[in-house]
């Protein structure tokens, strides 16, 4: 993992950020999120981000009637690490997850895209994930058992949805990062993905992820998802 991104995530705490609402897409620390941008207001957002600190906040849309803003309260702050433009004017970008945030306000702004006032208070440990190592987990009995339980759940879900997985490659990924990556790419509903991003600790997210994987593998949940392509 990267000490550079750990330092960057620690010092990157803008009080106001542009936000990209997208159902079915969550961004967790350390993980990468590819996006296919074609709507004019979000093309404008990318242009503005590239002129500055390259930061974008990803939040899920929600159909909750009690939430008139139509977006989830907790999202992920990402930094543009890859950018290209297609012949038909689309932007293909990749965001690196830095840390999570909680929306505290939605100000009136002049930009065509929405912006949010945010707080990072509840997620102070997120930057540490960027420098997590595999070594301590491999030497820990509890760490090995935690990974084994996750692997069993992942294999059950992969079999249920018919996906081939390189299990040898996954064994090289530190457990907290594997949890975040699996939470982002698993075929869960938007509310279930939101519950994963809102889990305060990595251990809490791991336990919730295992439960959801077994639930979906058994056919006990609606696994419809929205592809993160804007």
> Is 117 in the same domain as 163?
no
CATH code of the domain containing 93 = 2.30.130.40
Label residue 180 by pLDDT band (50, 70, 90): very high
Is 49 among the domain residues? Answer: yes
Is 44 among the domain residues? Answer: yes
Number of domains in the chain: 2
> Is 54 in the same domain as 104?
yes
> Is 141 in the same domain as 201?
yes
> 172: domain range?
135-217
**Pairwise CA distance, residues 155 & 220, whole Å:** 17
Tracing tokens 């540490």 back to the chain, one arrives at 128
- 65-74, 162-171, 179-188: which range is least confident on average? 65-74
pTM of the model: 0.90
H or E segment to which residue 91 belongs: strand 91-105
Mean pLDDT of the residues in the chain: 91
Task: Please write the tens of the pLDDT for every residue from 85-127.
Answer: 999 999 999 999 999 999 999 999 999 999 999 999 999 999 9
> Is 88 in the same domain as 8?
yes
Label residue 135 by pLDDT band (50, 70, 90): low
Is 55 among the domain residues? Answer: yes
């Amino acid at each position: 993992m990267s000490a550079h991104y750990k330092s960057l995530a620690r010092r990157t705490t803008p009080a106001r950020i542009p936000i990209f609402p997208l159902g079915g897409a969550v961004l967790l620390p350390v993980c990468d999120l590819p996006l296919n941008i074609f709507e004019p207001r979000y093309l404008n957002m990318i242009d503005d981000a590239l002129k500055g600190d390259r930061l974008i906040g990803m939040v899920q849309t929600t159909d909750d009637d009690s939430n008139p803003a139509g977006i989830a309260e907790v999202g992920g702050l990402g930094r543009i690490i890859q950018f290209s433009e297609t012949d038909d004017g689309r932007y293909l970008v990749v965001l690196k997850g830095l840390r999570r945030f909680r929306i505290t306000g939605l100000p009136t702004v002049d930009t065509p895209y929405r912006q949010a006032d945010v707080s990072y208070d509840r997620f102070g440990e997120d930057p540490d994930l960027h420098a997590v190592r595999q070594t301590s987990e491999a030497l820990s009995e509890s760490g090995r058992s935690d990974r084994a339980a996750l692997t069993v759940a992942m294999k059950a879900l992969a079999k249920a949805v018919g996906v081939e997985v390189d299990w040898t490659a996954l064994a090289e990924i530190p457990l907290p990062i594997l949890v975040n990556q699996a939470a982002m790419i698993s075929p869960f509903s938007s509310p279930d993905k939101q519950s994963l991003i809102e889990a305060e600790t990595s251990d809490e997210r791991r336990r919730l992820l295992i439960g959801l994987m077994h639930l979906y593998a058994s056919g006990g949940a609606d696994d419809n998802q929205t592809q993160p392509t804007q």
